[in-house]
Chains A and B, each alone.
Chain A
Amino acid sequence: MPTDFSLVDLVEGPVFLTGLSCLVWWAAKALHRRIPFALLHPVLTSIAVLIAVLVLAEIDYDTYRDGTAIIDLLLGVSVVALGLPLYRRIAVLRRNMAGVATGVVFGGLVGIVSAVVPFLLMGADAASAVSAAPSSVTTPIAVVASEMSGGIPALTAAVVVITGIMGAVVGPIVLRLIGVTNPVAFGLALGTAAHGIGTARALQEGELQGASASVGLCLNGLFTAMIMPLVLALLL
């Protein structure tokens, strides 16, 4: 063994931490494929397993974040990449302009306001309110939008993931309960309220539902990122 080798440096470095994150994700996905239970969503299980490993190995979050910086870099550029599914679905958007615009504008506004109000009423911390404000928006956009407005990115990521999983489970039930039958409206609502996880669920209903959900995900991300600073300034 060379004298300059340090196990701690290896374990706290990007090679180990990035590799660990990939393998935990892969295992979590395999588990979810075998037991397709909503609470075993790979995002939840891999976050839980990684936190357990970090706590046991006494690695703090800053070290982990530095070690997985490349994943963060890819997360940032994935927002730009979301332009491609939006472009591919542009025909769905054009054909349903009035419905899509109405759904996303009102849904996006209601989403921010209703996420913030419980914190105001219960006298909680403003940073928590800001962190929860973009709960329906796709994580990469939500995290940046939260950070820009003084929120806690990690709390936002957790809230967004939970919203997505719950949306995929209860979303179709709620929409059927209130009698939404139009497939574009059905998909758009799932994508607008529950981002990527809702979009995956919408695809199970049909191609048009999935495409509409994808449009909702992209447009609500865009819309919320643009209006959130203004809405928060009015509310807080």
Chain B
Amino acid sequence: MVRAFGILFGFQAIGALVAGLTGLPVPGNVLGMVLLVAALLAGAVRVEWIESAADVLVDNLAFLFVPAGVGIMSYFDLIAREWLPISISIVGSLILVLVVTGKGCEIAARLSAGRDAD
């Protein structure tokens, strides 16, 4: 578990370093995730080295963002003022993403399957 956390924090640090040095507008931990997947695919990191920590983190992801959500207590006046655009944004965006992703994926899958069959 300690090694697993060490490796995950290591990738986060490398991600932050790469983001900082290149000036890429991408969060360091997101780059760290990409580098971790690359390292797993290349065989440089083994699943057994990281799974004890990674599984605990991913399984409890919902708990980890509770403190961030509590921060909403400082913005009750903002929400009272802008509840309408916020609500429209949430509902509209959710439905459009569902439709576009679901239909887009299905149509592209059908087209590529058709092409393969030719």
Q: Chain A interface (Cβ within 8 Å of chain B)?
A: 21-22, 24-25, 42-43, 46-47, 50-51, 54-55, 61, 64-65, 68, 71-72, 74-88, 90, 96-104, 106-108, 110-111, 114-119, 121-122, 124-125, 128-129, 132, 135-136, 138-141, 143-145, 148, 152-155, 157-163, 166-167, 170-171, 174-175, 178, 180-182, 184-186, 188-190, 192-194, 196-197, 216, 218, 221-222, 225-226, 229
Is B17 in contact with chain A by the CB < 8 A criterion? no
CB <8 Å contact, B27 and A107:
no
**Do A193 and B90 form a contact, CB below 8 Å, given A98-B112, A111-B96, A154-B75?**
no
**Do A83 and B74 form a contact, CB below 8 Å, given A43-B62, A193-B101?**
no
For A186, give its contact among B79, B85, B102, B112 (CB under 8 Å).
Answer: B102
CB <8 Å contact, A155 and B75:
yes
Q: Which residue of A lies closest to B24 (CB)?
A: A226
CB distance from B91 to the nearest CB of A (A): 7
CB distance from A20 to the nearest CB of B (A): 11
CB <8 Å contact, A155 and B78:
yes
CB <8 Å contact, B93 and A114:
yes
Is B104 in contact with chain A by the CB < 8 A criterion? yes
CB <8 Å contact, A47 and B72:
yes
Q: Is the interface of A mostly helix, strand, loop or mixed?
A: helix
Is B1 in contact with chain A by the CB < 8 A criterion? no
**Do A43 and B65 form a contact, CB below 8 Å, given A87-B41, A226-B26?**
yes
CB <8 Å contact, B85 and A143:
no
CB <8 Å contact, A46 and B66:
yes
The distance in angstroms between the C-alpha atoms of A154 and B33, with both chains bound, is 23
CB distance from B61 to the nearest CB of A (A): 5
**Do A104 and B26 form a contact, CB below 8 Å, given A47-B69, A84-B51, A174-B95?**
no
CB-CB nearest 9 A-B residue pairs = A154-B71, A107-B101, A103-B105, A99-B109, A189-B102, A102-B108, A83-B36, A98-B112, A185-B105
Q: Which residue of B lies closest to A159 (CB)?
A: B90
CB <8 Å contact, B92 and A175:
no
Q: Which of A47, A84, A152, A225 has the most CB of B within 10 A?
A: A84
Residues of A within 8 A of B91 (CB): 166
CB distance from A34 to the nearest CB of B (A): 17
CB <8 Å contact, B90 and A161:
no
Q: Which residue of B lies closest to A189 (CB)?
A: B102
CB <8 Å contact, A68 and B29:
no
Q: Which residue of A lies closest to B116 (CB)?
A: A98
Residues of B within 8 A of A175 (CB): 98, 102
**Do A84 and B97 form a contact, CB below 8 Å, given A43-B66, A119-B89, A225-B30?**
no
CB <8 Å contact, B62 and A42:
yes
The distance in angstroms between the C-alpha atoms of A78 and B78, with both chains bound, is 29
Q: Which residue of B lies closest to A123 (CB)?
A: B85
- A sample of 27 cross-chain residue pairs with beta-carbon separation below 8 angstroms, ordered by A number, consists of A43-B66, A43-B69, A47-B66, A50-B66, A72-B68, A76-B12, A77-B29, A80-B15, A82-B58, A83-B40, A86-B33, A86-B37, A87-B40, A90-B41, A99-B106, A115-B90, A118-B92, A136-B94, A139-B65, A140-B64, A154-B72, A159-B86, A163-B94, A184-B109, A185-B106, A186-B102, A193-B94
